[in-house]
């Protein structure tokens, strides 16, 4: 991440709700994924959270837009989701729409982050 690509600077290009929720979501992500790396990707309009440079080392992405905020999970189609909050029909990824503080702070979201970390650890054992 270059100096001009801070998370705050990137999120400041969105409305106040997306900006504020993005910072709150970031705090939850960082608290639940120890030593994770943040990579702002302006061209893809997202922030990737990963433990390396390879796609397989990614846990999730924060995706802000004019319509709101999402958190996408790599291999989300394989994550346990007992609360049923994951959405999407893609082959690999799934996402959660973030609309409120309660969704950001929910046990269901924290559980997905922890399950994403466990899935990453299993993937890396096979490498």
CA atoms within 13 A on the CB side of 121: 9
Question: pLDDT tens digit string along 34-45?
Answer: 999 999 999 999
> What pLDDT is recorded for position 54?
85
| Of residues 21, 15, 92, 98, the one with CA closest to residue 58 | 92
pTM of the model: 0.91
Return d(Cα 68, Cα 113) in angstroms, integer: 20
Q: What is the CATH number for 40?
A: 3.90.1150
Element (H, E) at 37: strand 37-41
Alpha carbon 117 to chain centroid, angstroms:
12
- Tell me the mean pLDDT in the region 114-118: 95
For residues 45 and 11, is the Cβ–Cβ distance under 8 A?
Answer: no
> What pLDDT is recorded for position 2?
41
Return d(Cα 103, Cα 101) in angstroms, integer: 5
The rounded percent of the chain whose pLDDT value lies above 90 is 84
For residues 38 and 80, is the Cβ–Cβ distance under 8 A?
Answer: no
- Structural domain of residue 18, as residue ranges? 3-125
Domain count, the chain: 1
């Amino acid at each position: 991440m270059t100096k001009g690509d801070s998370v705050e600077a990137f999120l400041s290009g969105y409305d106040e709700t997306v900006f504020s929720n993005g910072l709150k979501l970031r705090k939850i992500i960082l608290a639940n994924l120890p030593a994770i790396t943040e990579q702002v990707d302006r061209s893809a309009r997202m922030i990737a959270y990963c433990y390396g440079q390879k796609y397989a080392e990614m846990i999730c992405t924060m995706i802000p837009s004019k319509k709101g905020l999402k958190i996408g999970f790599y291999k989300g189609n394989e994550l346990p989701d007992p609360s049923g909050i994951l959405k999407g029909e893609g082959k690999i990824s799934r996402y959660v729409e973030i609309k409120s503080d309660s969704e950001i702070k929910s046990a269901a979201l924290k559980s997905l982050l922890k399950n994403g970390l466990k899935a990453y650890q299993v993937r890396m054992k096979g490498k």
